[in-house]
Structure 1
Amino acid sequence: MTDQGFSTRAIHAGQRPDPGNGAVAPAIWATSTYAQDGVGGLRSGYEYSRSANPTRTALEECLASLEQADHGFAFASGLAAEDTLLRTIGRPGAHVVIPDDAYGGTYRTFARVHEPWGLGYTPAALTDLDAVRAAVRPGETTAVWVETPTNPLLGVADIAAIADIAHAAGALLVVDNTFASPYLQQPLTLGADVVVHSTTKYCGGHSDVVGGALLTSDGELAERLRYFQNAIGGVAGPFDAWLVLRGLRTLAVRMERHSDNAEQVAAFLAEHPRVAQVYYPGLDSHPGHAVAKAQMRRFGGMVSFRVADGEEAAVAACGRTELFTLAESLGGVESLIEHPGRMTHASVAGTELEVPADLVRLSVGIEDADDLVADLEQALAVG
């Protein structure tokens, strides 16, 4: 099915009509166990839903198709996916290069969970290839961990170039593709070994589910991931898998509207006198614009900006919006606003990953763009 278009695969991959009753929507298989045809005789390959569930299988097949991967694994959250991956590829004494503006939850996983276990990490500016090379430790680094665009500063990493650096050192390239979604970017086609998603975000798309995923075409790694997924057990439940699967069916049309709206919002902010800096890969002024244009279909729905009057003005602006809801998370149809320093990235305060105190992050939804611009205009007005 990989020769078919993205939207066709989003609607049909892993989602064939039920052979028994013809239902076109996938079923929610709310079962924990399955009848066996004799001792050890599995019926259709299912025995216990931690190991596999038909609804989860449908989601994993669809995600794999969209990321052009051979294998997909769905988890209870993005962090559950990350933890399982690190336990699969990491070990005490190993080392991972991470972004120097990584998502706060990812940083917390490395610094508070896996570093005490013995897994080392080095933050590096992934937009600087020399910095990536300097951070890699041949024979010790097991992976280079990339977010592109990054959260929340929208940095853009050259996936193909970093894949070459990682592979030359015998390391894997892991790409968190949450901000871009499979529609805007397919890292495996650019040399990545594993793709990570918080499917809570654009894949689900409606702020009503929490989930995560890992995608790879490395058969040996896939077997180890399958074992660890089952052994650790942080799997997606059938209803959560069904919600993400439903979201994927409209991913393409949603991402087009997210991108349309974000471009208008970013252009407005770039001209606003109370905005000191705008972070959006779609702007010609963005240092990663050329790379983003080469490896992404569009520039996505995430926009960050710095308020010229400082931290308290940024916090105040977050509290004055009416259409942009003050909330964490991102990627839903509704627009969200947050102050990363005090919200999603509070865990990196005081570290080398600390974000600017005057930074505001927007998840631009699919409402009418003129209304979103007007909301930000009144929120940024001097009261």
Structure 2
Amino acid sequence: MQLETLLANITQHANLVDAYGATHLPIYNTATFDHKRQFPNHKNYDYSRTDNPTRNALEDIFTIAENGAGGVCTNTGVGALALLFDTVLKSGDTVLVERDCYGGTYRMLNILLEKQNIKTCYADFTDAIEVENVLKNNAITLVLCESPTNPSLKIVDLKAVAELSKKYNALFAVDNSMATFASQKPLDLGADFSLFSATKFISGHGSVVAGAIIAKTDYWAERLCYFSNANGRAQSPFDVFLVSLGLPTLVYRMKTQEQSAIQLSEFLLSLSEVVEVKFPGLPSHPQYELAKRQMKIIPSVLTITLKSAEKSEQLIRNTKLFGEKVSFGTSDSRLEIPSKMSHATYSEEDLKKIGLTHATVRIAVGLENVDDLIADIQQALKIETSKCV
């Protein structure tokens, strides 16, 4: 079954028992369930922190979409990350993380996990030799990366990292928030876990914060469920419903946004004010061929560096269609200076290591007409239209 078909009618494909044949996900907004009134010979529900029919249905769909064994919908994307750490790590363990990781991941590793005596090693995951050297010289329990990375937009060869992780007996998890299962399926490429923030492309409307984590094996799927119940990270039924509203249009939204991002990137390359444009959908990107091979859709996020921090501030201040907002993957276009927002927790030294400056701007392309977005950037930078051919 193709993904578009699965997502078009999720109640048809989820393991959901509904007496009325609802064509969209019913909201079971209840704390507890009466054992005496439930359907005979079907799953018995007790307490919504443990299991809930609305949440379980979405978990079924995500599991099918990721080709996994099972998983958990969490209250946020960071909640999915925290659930992964709770499930697989213990005091004294070491995690290997891509150096260019999400600011929330960096914060959790360097503040929360450090308190639990969990060590973190970093590497450039586009360099297989560097990754193997870290694995060889450290007892790594968990390898974690994003692809594309955020905000440098490097593409990691997930199959190659999965093979290295297996060679050194480490678990491998991929934060698939930017690509989503509409573009790539980490479990098919050898990962043990695929997790994502459903706040972004999957829900698509900026109306809810949400996350999910899917395991490749029954053992780890069961452990995720156990720890989710134990630490209360499961998502509420109403938030599950809000996430589900974006699913039927996910593939079509991402394809439309991809084309707009390509056009916008090409326009930005023509500007003298722009020093660099990073977008995996451009042939100039160093991992362009890997991106085309590994992903069906290039996510509509690009990173540019302007001539100065003042120019970046000018762009942020003067655009009318681009909000100054964190996150990406929604219907509205957004700008941010990562060093001040999503990656504000990074030290200046670590920002330099991943190539971020105060002149760097991340652009998340939405569903507006791309000609309007181009015109907005032109007026924001006070560029004469005739100069932009």
Q: TM-score range by the shorter chain?
A: over 0.9
Report how far residue 123 of structure 1 moved: 1.5
For 1:328 and 1:215, the matched residues in 2 are separated by: 25
For 2:56 and 2:100, the matched residues in 1 are separated by: 33
Amino acid across the alignment from 1:8: T
Range 63-72 or range 27-36, more displaced: 63-72
For 1:292 and 1:322, the matched residues in 2 are separated by: 32
Give secondary structure in 1 for the equivalent of 2:97: strand
- Alignment equivalent of 2:342, drawn from 340, 344, 348: 344
Report how far residue 191 of structure 1 moved: 0.8
For 2:245 and 2:133, the matched residues in 1 are separated by: 43
Amino acid across the alignment from 1:232: N
Percent identity for Structure 1 against Structure 2? 35
Aligned to 2:117: 118
For 1:276 and 1:132, the matched residues in 2 are separated by: 30
Amino acid across the alignment from 2:92: G
- Alignment equivalent of 2:317, drawn from 316, 319, 322: 319
Report how far residue 19 of structure 1 moved: 4.1
Summarize the alignment of residues 1-383 of structure 1 with structure 2, pairs less than 5 Å apart. Answer: 4-15=1-12, 19-37=18-36, 44-137=43-136, 140-308=139-307, 310-354=308-352, 355-381=356-382
Report how far residue 20 of structure 1 moved: 2.0
Report how far residue 130 of structure 1 moved: 1.1
Instruction: Tell whether the 8 Å contact from 1:15 to 1:58 is kept in structure 2 after alignment.
Output: no
Amino acid across the alignment from 1:344: S
Quick one: structure 1 residues 136 and 14, their matched pair in 2 at CA, closer, same or farther if it must change by over 3 Å? Answer: farther
Deviations 1:171-227 (A, max 9, x none): 111101111111011111111110110000011100000001001121111111111
For 1:19 and 1:57, the matched residues in 2 are separated by: 13
Instruction: Tell whether the 8 Å contact from 1:33 to 1:48 is kept in structure 2 after alignment.
Output: yes
Amino acid across the alignment from 1:333: S
Deviations 1:286-316 (A, max 9, x none): 11111111100021110110002x1122122
The two structures have a TM-score, normalised by structure 1, of 0.94
For 1:133 and 1:103, the matched residues in 2 are separated by: 22
The two structures have a TM-score, normalised by structure 2, of 0.93
For 2:360 and 2:41, the matched residues in 1 are separated by: 54
| Runs of 5+ consecutive residues of structure 1 not aligned to the other structure | none
| Runs of 5+ consecutive residues of structure 2 not aligned to the other structure | 385-389
Deviations 1:305-357 (A, max 9, x none): 0002x112212211111111111111101111111111111001334245222
For 1:219 and 1:10, the matched residues in 2 are separated by: 23
Aligned to 2:387: none
Report how far residue 15 of structure 1 moved: 4.4
Give secondary structure in 2 for the equivalent of 1:184: coil
Amino acid across the alignment from 2:370: A
For 1:135 and 1:374, the matched residues in 2 are separated by: 47
Report how far residue 43 of structure 1 moved: 6.6
Amino acid across the alignment from 2:256: R
For 1:231 and 1:138, the matched residues in 2 are separated by: 34
For 1:27 and 1:91, the matched residues in 2 are separated by: 38
For 1:19 and 1:277, the matched residues in 2 are separated by: 53
For 1:291 and 1:14, the matched residues in 2 are separated by: 35
Give secondary structure in 2 for the equivalent of 1:74: strand
Amino acid across the alignment from 1:214: I
Give secondary structure in 2 for the equivalent of 1:49: coil
For 1:373 and 1:363, the matched residues in 2 are separated by: 13
Range 321-330 or range 154-163, more displaced: 321-330
Instruction: Tell whether the 8 Å contact from 1:14 to 1:57 is kept in structure 2 after alignment.
Output: no
Instruction: Tell whether the 8 Å contact from 1:79 to 1:212 is kept in structure 2 after alignment.
Output: yes
For 1:243 and 1:290, the matched residues in 2 are separated by: 36
Deviations 1:235-269 (A, max 9, x none): 11001101111111210111111101111111111
For 1:43 and 1:70, the matched residues in 2 are separated by: 20
Amino acid across the alignment from 2:345: S
Report how far residue 271 of structure 1 moved: 1.6
Range 372-381 or range 179-188, more displaced: 372-381
- What is the total number of aligned residue pairs between the two structures? 377
Give secondary structure in 2 for the equivalent of 1:136: helix
RMSD: 1.8
Deviations 1:96-145 (A, max 9, x none): 11111111011001001011111111121111111111222567201111
Give secondary structure in 2 for the equivalent of 1:59: helix
